[in-house]
């Protein structure tokens, strides 16, 4: 039960970051352009560094086993998420289908894993974040546009998260020494992930009248699928991971239980889809996840004990 209380406290911390972003935008201390540039900082610098930082450690056979197990868990969880979201939303809403499929694993999930399970546990979820980004640019883009021509292999190959994973794996498998000064910079940048991401989401929330947040039945359904249905099925799936790897189970469950990912708004804007609906899905699911994520992890602890 300690981990449930800890996750709840850390979720509240993330909510306070969101609130600061909300108030800054309302007080005109943060602009739409500013939040967009912070989003670019997250995408092109902070998230790749988070991945590289988690892999900058000495290679051991045990860690290789953990990489393979966590990759299998991530692939299974994401395939499950896409299947459920497609079943529920394919004929209802492309934006909800995308949003329910892909959690905010990188910007909210990783900081919560780090604060709840420790820095070392991030090692077990970076493959989830990398796979999620690849699938967003393939399955996600196609689900929004229904046009195969919009799926770009070049964009996938040059995606900052994929490049960060490649660099991280090189650091892990090859005897490349990382100077202490560089490690310090990487660690500091990685610690900015949660606060900066939640400031950006807070600015999204500030751009929408609060009453509109609670007016869409599709948004409620998206939150139900993203925060409850998919995590419950993920608990069953992760039971296949050997009990001796409980940290992998919990870490993957946390990122899989995170709210709708912020990228759905970016893609909605890019392809001229329902941007307002995307922001509503992100914001409401983020607020509700403060309660849902600790409950899901608590239930998993009961099932797995």
Distances in whole angstroms, Cα of residue 116 to Cα of each of 239, 273, 289: 20, 36, 15
CATH fold of 2-304 reads Na+/H+ antiporter like fold (1.20.1530)
In angstroms, the CA 233 to CA 238 distance is 9
For tokens 């994401």, the residue is: 78
Judged by DSSP in three states, 31 sits in coil
Q: Which residues of the chain have pLDDT under 70?
A: 1
In angstroms, the CA 136 to CA 206 distance is 26
Domain boundaries, the chain: 2-304
Rg of the chain's alpha carbons, rounded to an integer? 18
Tokens of 268: 């909605």
Give this prediction's pTM: 0.90
Tokens of 150: 């919009």
In angstroms, the CA 92 to CA 76 distance is 25
Closest CA to 80 of 102, 49, 54: 102
pLDDT at 81: 96
Closest CA to 99 of 260, 287, 277: 260
């Amino acid at each position: 039960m300690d981990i449930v209380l800890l996750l709840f406290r850390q979720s509240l911390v993330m909510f306070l970051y969101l609130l600061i972003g909300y108030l800054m935008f309302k007080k005109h201390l943060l602009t739409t352009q500013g939040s967009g540039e912070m989003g670019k900082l997250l995408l092109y610098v902070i998230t790749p560094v988070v991945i590289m930082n988690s892999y900058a450690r000495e290679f051991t056979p045990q860690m290789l086993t953990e990489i393979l197990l966590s990759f299998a868990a991530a692939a299974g969880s994401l395939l499950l998420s896409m299947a459920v979201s497609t079943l529920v939303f394919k004929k209802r809403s492309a934006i909800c289908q995308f949003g329910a499929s892909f959690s905010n694993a990188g910007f909210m999930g990783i900081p919560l894993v780090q604060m709840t399970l420790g820095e070392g546990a991030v090692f077990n979820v970076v493959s989830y974040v990398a796979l999620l980004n690849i699938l967003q640019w393939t399955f996600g883009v196609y689900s929004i546009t229904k046009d195969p021509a919009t799926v770009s292999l070049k964009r996938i190959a040059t995606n900052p998260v994929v490049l960060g994973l490649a660099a991280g794996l090189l650091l892990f498998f090859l005897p490349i020494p990382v100077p202490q000064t560089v490690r310090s910079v990487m660690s500091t940048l990685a610690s900015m992930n949660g606060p900066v991401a939640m400031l950006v989401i807070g600015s999204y929330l500030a751009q929408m009248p609060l009453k509109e947040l609670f007016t869409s039945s599709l948004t409620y359904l998206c939150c139900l699928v993203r925060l409850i249905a998919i995590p419950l099925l993920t608990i069953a799936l992760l039971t296949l991971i050997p009990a001796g790897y409980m940290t992998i189970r919990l870490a993957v469950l946390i990122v899989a239980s995170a709210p709708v990912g912020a990228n759905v708004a970016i893609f909605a804007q890019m392809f001229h889809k329902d941007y307002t609906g995307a922001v509503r899905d992100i914001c409401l699911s983020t607020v509700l996840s403060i309660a849902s994520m600790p409950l899901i992890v608590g239930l998993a602890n009961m099932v797995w004990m």
